[in-house]
Structure 1
Amino acid sequence: MAQSRSGLSAPLPLLYRLFFLYIEPVATAVGAYYAEFEQHEYMQLTYSSSAAAAFGVSTRESIVLTQLANLYFVFALNEALVLRTTNDLRVWRAFLLGLLIADFGHCYSVNKVGIEVYYEFWKWNSMYWGNLGFVYVGAAMRTSFLLGLGLSGRNGAKVKN
């Protein structure tokens, strides 16, 4: 779409706005909730043969899970709020590139379970649907955005949010 004299063009496609401003922040906030308030279940679903299955969550694990919950929460807030505050595609691209890099790190985090965890989706529990399935979708959405799919004629342009 052509830019106007003000540097603004049509709003971002609905799919991107829905996913980045609503769906993903809510899903991430749910992850924060489980990491903070359902720690035993979180540990059980992450790796069922862990000590948490027999002994509960240790103080050390609880501290780390609270820190993880905090990171998930700030991630959800940043995505939901920062992207709403600007109409500059350069900011959106920089922000989403950072999240895409984090997606790769997030997926890497489960490699100790075994390589098959990445593709044997029929064996996934709810935690792996979040830790891998949803992350795959997020990474695909970010990649599509960064490649400009659905953003024809918007190189460096500003858009209305």
Structure 2
Amino acid sequence: MPFLKPFGSISAWYWVLFLYIEPASTAVGAIYAHFYQHIYLTLTHAASAPASNSIPLSTSIVLTQLANLYLLLAINEALVLRATSDVKVWRVFLLGLLIADFGHLYSVYELGLPIYWRFWAWNAIDWGNIGFVYMVGCARVAFLCGVGLGEKRVGADLKSQ
């Protein structure tokens, strides 16, 4: 299938994850943050969500801004990485996203430390905010370490000398 053809030394797994799966899931986050604000707030923290669909105007504006940033991330990832097979560009871009992953994980810190490991208690937004971020973060680290890139490793270079 041509859409699964990897770019140069970049494996199909990274290509599918970073050009399709992650941008699509980020776009879903944008849709919920803008169009389903009450659900978004309730899933984020039910105890502090508004009792009804009467979301304060400032909160609605901030959620729409968040949706806009999610959409920007989805578009940038899908388009920038599609534009090149240069591993250096991919590494720089994915390093930036990895740093943002840590910020995203930090954003739920106020929910308490168990939010990071009690996966059996996670709802849909927790799986997106934590579980999915863990997965793509690990994939970014693997990419940055050269796993699955078809490149020579430093250790292999030293052994051949």
* TM-score using structure 2 length: 0.87
Helix, strand or coil at the partner of 1:86: coil
Partners of 2:9 and 2:150 within 8 A in 1: no
Match of 2:33 among 32, 35, 49: 35
Partners of 2:34 and 2:67 within 8 A in 1: yes
- Of all paired residues, the percent bearing the same amino acid is 55
Deviation at 1:11, TM superposition (A): 4.3
- 2:134 aligns with 136
Instruction: Provide the rounded CA distance (Å) in 1 between the counterparts of 2:101 and 2:61.
Output: 23
Instruction: Provide the rounded CA distance (Å) in 1 between the counterparts of 2:9 and 2:150.
Output: 12
Higher share of residues assigned helix: 2
Count of residue correspondences: 147
- 1:116 aligns with 114
Instruction: Provide the rounded CA distance (Å) in 2 between the counterparts of 1:55 and 1:87.
Output: 46
Instruction: Provide the rounded CA distance (Å) in 2 between the counterparts of 1:65 and 1:131.
Output: 15
Question: Is residue 2:32 matched to residue 1:12?
Answer: no
Is there any run of 5+ residues in structure 1 with no aligned partner, and where? Answer: 1-8, 156-161
Q: What does 1:37-116 correspond to in 2, within 5 Å?
A: 37-54=35-52, 56-116=54-114
- 2:144 aligns with 146
* TM-score using structure 1 length: 0.87
Instruction: Provide the rounded CA distance (Å) in 1 between the counterparts of 2:151 and 2:136.
Output: 23
Deviation at 1:55, TM superposition (A): 6.2
Deviation at 1:86, TM superposition (A): 1.3
Alignment deviations for residues 88-137 of structure 1 (CA, whole Å, 9 cap, x no partner): 11110000000000000000000001000000000000010000011111
Instruction: Provide the rounded CA distance (Å) in 2 between the counterparts of 1:120 and 1:138.
Output: 19
Higher relative contact order (CA 8 A, sep 6+): 1
Deviation at 1:56, TM superposition (A): 3.0
Partners of 1:28 and 1:73 within 8 A in 2: yes
Is there any run of 5+ residues in structure 2 with no aligned partner, and where? Answer: 1-6, 154-161
Deviation at 1:77, TM superposition (A): 0.1
Helix, strand or coil at the partner of 2:50: helix
Deviation at 1:60, TM superposition (A): 0.7
- Give the superposed CA RMSD: 1.5
Deviation at 1:153, TM superposition (A): 1.9
Partners of 1:31 and 1:69 within 8 A in 2: yes
